[in-house]
Amino acid sequence: VITVIRAKRPTSSVPGGETFTGSVWKEGILPRADGVSMGSVHFAPGARTHWHTHEGGQILIVVAGEGLVGDADGVVRIAAGDVAWTPGGVRHWHGATQERHMLHTAISLAGVTWHEALADEGYLAAVASGDV
Ligand code: MN
């Protein structure tokens, strides 16, 4: 059976909640089924996720703006049109840059485990070190 996801959905944007820092809004696209979930996440400038891991990995498709994705190996700048793959079990975070918002589509495989917030100090260091 094929599932078609219409662009016009009766979905409300909801605040990112306690696993994010800054102003974040989310919209569900595909509720978790068969271990896969999909949603849009909008980060205001400076906003980012807490550290977290996805059991099966995650694909991020950047739709608008510019952001950062970081793990223990460093930080990479991502912009509209870029696609980032984070393998399962890798501790990471993602969010906007300081100057620009970022809207990404996130396709997440299996469960997610949330860890601590990325403190301002770590975020600012990441912004400074992110490859351009
Ligand atoms: Mn993630």
- Cβ atoms of 93 and 46 within 8 Å: the answer is no
Centroid of ligand 1 to alpha carbon of 128 (angstroms): 21
CA distances from 44 to 28, 87, 95 (A): 18, 25, 8
Centroid of ligand 1 to alpha carbon of 1 (angstroms): 28
Centroid of ligand 1 to alpha carbon of 8 (angstroms): 25
Cα dihedral sign for 97, 66, 54, 23? positive
Centroid of ligand 1 to alpha carbon of 75 (angstroms): 13
Centroid of ligand 1 to alpha carbon of 58 (angstroms): 6
Confidence band (pLDDT; 50, 70, 90) for 130?
low
d(CA 25, CA 42): 5
Confidence band (pLDDT; 50, 70, 90) for 80?
very high
- Mean pLDDT across the chain: 93
Q: Residue 89 pLDDT > 90, yes or no?
A: yes
pTM: 0.91
Centroid of ligand 1 to alpha carbon of 65 (angstroms): 17
Which pLDDT belongs to residue 11?
76
DSSP lists the bridge partners of residue 106 as 39, 60
Centroid of ligand 1 to alpha carbon of 54 (angstroms): 6
Which pLDDT belongs to residue 6?
80
